[in-house]
Amino acid sequence: MSKIRTRFAPSPTGYMHVGNLRTALYAYLIAKHEGGDFILRIEDTDQERYVEGAVDVIFNTLRDTGLIHDEGPDVGGEFGPYVQSERREIYREYAEKLVEKKEAYYCFCTKERLDMLRENAEAKKKPFKYDKHCCSLSHEEVENNLNKGLPYVIRQNNPTEGVTKFEDVIYGTISVDNEELEDMVLLKSDGLPTYNFANVVDDHLMEITHVVRGSEYLSSSPKYNRLYEAFGWNVPVYVHCPPIMKDAQHKLSKRTGDASFEDLLAKGYLKEAVLNYISLLGWNPGTTQEIFSLEELVEVFEYKNINKSPAIFDSEKLRWMNGEYLKKLPLEKFHELALPYILEDIKDKPLDTMKIADILHTRVEVLSEITGQVDFFYALPEYSTDMYTHKKMKTNSEVALSSLETILPVLESVSEQDWNIDKLHEIVLEKVKELGMKNGQMLWPIRTALTGKQFTPGGAFEAADVLGKEESLDRIRTGIELLKETINA
């Protein structure tokens, strides 16, 4: 068997769609699982959609995710150039070979004529299909038009009878009636190839063995196969992947506001978690394992296990998976990633950010959700004394006032040196036991006084440890005063 060679061939349109990244990942895994080569090719023939800087987005994404290509525009290789706009003469040569074989023809139809054909098709409620008008031009007529310098395209000459079949690893045998095949444009009037033509020529010349792409290209594959057959080339193995859906009816799409890879990173998802998650969008390892490193995916990935059915992008599942990755990080690494979000809340206040990171470490699923969780460390928010009432904790304003007044002198007796989670835990629970109270009747009022919030990462002791003795006592005193005012009102 020849060496497996796959390619990722994105168009530089500005961002990395999650579906594009999954295609790159699957192509990479298919090649590397068998010790093959993974090639990057930039398909920039649609110059109108070209976005400045988009090629860098592609390079950066592949580098950051570890999908390192063996050949490409930036690393070279023996099958270059790897940018389609630099291969213009190659496509012209092969398009003209098809004309010689009568598998393609020059088309001189004007925009006005094509618009008329489209309008007629719409009026009859039929899909537009070119009517082969220029296919019947004589050699002399073609030469005359070329000599006049008339603009033209080169179209594929597809049969109008019979059936074209092809095999897809995932979807099986696909058959299409030839009467449905469009004589698609191969070479545009600007001399650049269409996507459909260029990728067939490039895949053959670059010796690509497995073509991985989205299932939306299934309907185009018969036309690709007719090109392979026209040239007498071997057809590669097709691996069409199911669409990634937002829900049962709608495909995931950046145009409708769905997150790109860059958006997910900006929201605080880890690239390793995103890559792991999208590997499971349409593929099943056949086991209950869900957390995979890239190396593990290379080891176990079997492309024949890709599903036919659409994959639903489950944001909650991604959040969970990201949380699992965050928990596994060493605290120092988590602190490094979380620090920008922590500083948004605590600003320039001189607090121990490592302690705050430690509180957050196992309680955060996405880094961006840190913002707004620890702002109480910067300043105590205005809060209602109603928050001291908590049915489950069996506390209300009167119980809270009594608890805070009781614990204040106990906390005041703790030295600055001993002010830490363990010591606070010991002396507070000792007092609770002595008073015969429920833990919540003491801890809820302390936490409320320290944070002014109903929901915080960590509890009373973690908050007191970060705030330090002086500020913690000040906040408890403030809580006592507020409760007295409420009760006496």
Q: What are the structural domains, with CATH classification, of the chain?
A: 1-72+242-328 (3.40.50.620), 87-241 (3.40.50.620), 332-488 (1.10.10.350)
Place of tokens 């525009």: 73
Average pLDDT, rounded, for the chain = 94
Q: Which of 289, 242, 304 is nearest to 23 (CA)?
A: 242
Sheet holding 210-214, edge to edge: 37-40, 5-8, 210-214, 237-241, 163-168, 172-177
Q: Report pLDDT digits (tens) over 440-459.
A: 999 999 999 999 999 999 99
Report how far residue 30's alpha carbon sits from residue 289's, in angstroms, rounded to the nearest whole number.
19
Residue 380: other Cβ atoms inside 10 A: 18
User: How much is the pLDDT for 14?
Assistant: 79
* 392 is annotated as contributing to ligand binding: no
Strand-pair partners of 156: 104
User: How much is the pLDDT for 218?
Assistant: 87
User: How much is the pLDDT for 167?
Assistant: 86
User: How much is the pLDDT for 443?
Assistant: 97
Catalytic residues: 254
Report how far residue 131's alpha carbon sits from residue 113's, in angstroms, rounded to the nearest whole number.
11
Tokens representing residue 344 in the block: 């948004």
Report how far residue 401's alpha carbon sits from residue 398's, in angstroms, rounded to the nearest whole number.
5
| Terminal-residue alpha carbon distance, the chain | 87
User: How much is the pLDDT for 52?
Assistant: 86
Q: Which of 156, 164, 47, 184 is nearest to 98 (CA)?
A: 156
Phi then psi for 322, rounded to 5 degrees?
-60, -40
Tokens representing residue 359 in the block: 């509180």
Contact between 330 and 307 under an 8 Å Cβ cutoff? The reply is no
User: How much is the pLDDT for 250?
Assistant: 80
User: How much is the pLDDT for 88?
Assistant: 93
User: How much is the pLDDT for 165?
Assistant: 86
% pLDDT > 90, the chain: 85
Low-confidence ranges of the chain (pLDDT < 50): none
Q: Which CA distances in Å does 451 have to 45, 388, 479?
A: 58, 12, 10
Q: Report pLDDT digits (tens) over 227-240.
A: 999 999 999 999 99
User: How much is the pLDDT for 256?
Assistant: 65
Whole-model pTM: value is 0.90
User: How much is the pLDDT for 142?
Assistant: 97
User: Prior bond to 10 cis, omega within 30?
Assistant: no
Q: Give the gyration radius of the chain's Cα atoms.
A: 33
What is the amino acid identity at position 124?
K
